[in-house]
């Protein structure tokens, strides 16, 4: 019996020592929290954290920072956010910064932003101190300039700087900086394209930025556009096509010239074909004349046989033909002499 009592006593002593060791391990944290007017419970909070495998040291120090800064949080909120895979230190730091800047940021909202993978501290800092985004992004474009064309065909190169601040209400699920850059670039190109002359753009670039800013390009994004400033605007250089309209007109004129040349060549080929056809018809007519002339002697012979033509009639016709041939030869000689005199 004495041995049983001894064993139980040893077991009880070990349990008490273990409990004392656990209590002593969190006693310093409890004292620090109590001294900082951020009291926590030893058994339910500190020892419970150890059982839930939550680092009590991080939770207590973060809780003390929040209480000292006037941020309304509890150790249970911090534990839940830690167990969800978030960073309770970043959330509390962001809430403190937002509180000092008079920005309303609740713990649930900050925790949701942090769990969504966004940098909550950077978001609050950007909300307090707006940042500037280059449009277009110089790292993603070769020239670092937007390419736009006015109605008169003049090509302009534009660079803008967009000042934005974080919209904490739509940070979760809102579009990123790339969307802002794309929308602003599209708005600038569209605004310049609606201008009658490039001179209007060069004289008043602020009209472009105002028109783009009034378009509400920050809808459904994680940012609010504060201002859009035209940093640089110029006409395309010598090595580039500056007058796109003139270039298009030149290309159109060149295409029209080629088309007209093709049409003229077609008409020329048709004329040559018609000429060859007429020559063939002349040859055909000449062949018919020769054929008809070949039938004259046959007709005369037939007339002799039938008595319709006498010998004297034949000689008279021969004389007429000889006289006609002589006159034609004399007339041809006179024409040759007149040509020689000229």
| Average pLDDT score over residue span 152-177 | 86
Q: Which of 157, 179, 260, 268 is nearest to 225 (CA)?
A: 179
Between 300 and 132, name the one with better pLDDT.
132
Residue 282 confidence (pLDDT) above 60: yes
Calpha distance 284→288 (Å, rounded): 6
In this prediction, residue 336 carries a pLDDT of 54
Q: What was the pLDDT predicted at 238?
A: 44
Q: Is the pLDDT of residue 15 over 70?
A: no
Please report which confidence band the pLDDT of residue 167 belongs to, taking 50, 70 and 90 as the band edges. Answer: confident
User: What is the CATH architecture of 131-242?
Assistant: 2-Layer Sandwich (3.30)
Residue 92: which pLDDT band, with cuts at 50, 70 and 90? Answer: very high
Instruction: Answer yes or no: is pLDDT of 263 > 80.
Output: yes
Strands 131-135 and 155-166: antiparallel
pLDDT at 239: 46
The average confidence (pLDDT) of the chain is: 82
pLDDT higher than 50, residue 8:
yes
Whether the per-residue pLDDT at 247 is higher than 80: the answer is: no
pLDDT at residue 335 is higher than 70: no
Q: How far apart are CA 264 and CA 21, in angstroms?
A: 108
Residue 321 to residues 290, 291, 310, 316, 324, Cα–Cα distance (Å): 17, 19, 17, 9, 5
Tens of pLDDT along 194-214? 888 888 888 888 888 888 888
* pLDDT at residue 1 in the model: 65
What percentage of the chain has pLDDT greater than the value 70? 86
* Listed range (99-108, 146-155, 238-247, 287-296) with the worst mean pLDDT: 238-247
Could you give the dihedral angle defined by the CA atoms of residues 75, 80, 82 and 86, in that order, rounded to the nearest 10 degrees?
A: -120
d(CA 97, CA 13): 49
CB atoms within 10 A of CB 113: 24
């Amino acid at each position: 019996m004495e041995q049983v009592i001894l064993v139980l006593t040893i077991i009880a002593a070990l349990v008490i020592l273990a409990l004392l060791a656990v209590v002593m391990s969190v006693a310093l944290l409890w004292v620090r929290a109590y001294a900082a007017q951020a009291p926590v419970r030893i058994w339910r909070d500190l020892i419970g954290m150890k059982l839930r495998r939550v680092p009590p040291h991080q939770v207590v120090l973060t809780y003390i920072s929040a209480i000292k800064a006037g941020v309304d949080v509890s150790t249970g909120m911090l534990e839940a956010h830690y167990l969800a895979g978030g960073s309770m230190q970043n959330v509390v730091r962001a809430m403190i910064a937002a509180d000092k800047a008079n920005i309303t940021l609740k713990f649930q909202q900050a925790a949701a932003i942090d769990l969504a993978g966004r940098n909550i501290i950077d978001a609050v800092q950007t909300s307090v101190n707006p940042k500037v985004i280059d449009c277009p992004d110089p790292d993603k474009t070769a020239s670092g300039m937007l390419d736009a064309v006015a109605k008169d065909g003049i090509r302009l190169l534009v660079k803008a700087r967009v000042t934005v601040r974080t919209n904490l209400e739509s940070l979760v699920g809102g579009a990123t900086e790339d969307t802002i850059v794309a929308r602003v670039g599209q708005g600038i190109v569209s605004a310049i394209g609606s201008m009658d002359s490039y001179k209007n753009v060069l004289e008043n670039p602020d009209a472009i930025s105002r028109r783009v800013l009034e378009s509400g390009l920050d809808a459904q994004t994680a940012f609010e556009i504060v201002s859009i400033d035209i940093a640089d605007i110029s006409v395309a250089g010598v090595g580039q096509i500056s007058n796109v309209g003139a270039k298009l007109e030149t290309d159109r004129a060149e295409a029209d010239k080629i088309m007209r040349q093709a049409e003229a060549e077609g008409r020329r080929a048709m004329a040559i074909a018609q000429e060859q056809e007429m020559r063939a018809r002349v040859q055909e007519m000449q062949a018919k004349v020769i054929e008809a002339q070949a039938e004259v002697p046959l007709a005369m012979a037939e007339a002799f046989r039938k008595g319709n033509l006498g010998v004297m009639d034949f000689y008279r016709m021969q004389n007429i033909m000889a006289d006609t041939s002589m006159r034609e030869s004399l007339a041809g000689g006179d024409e040759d002499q007149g040509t020689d005199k000229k």
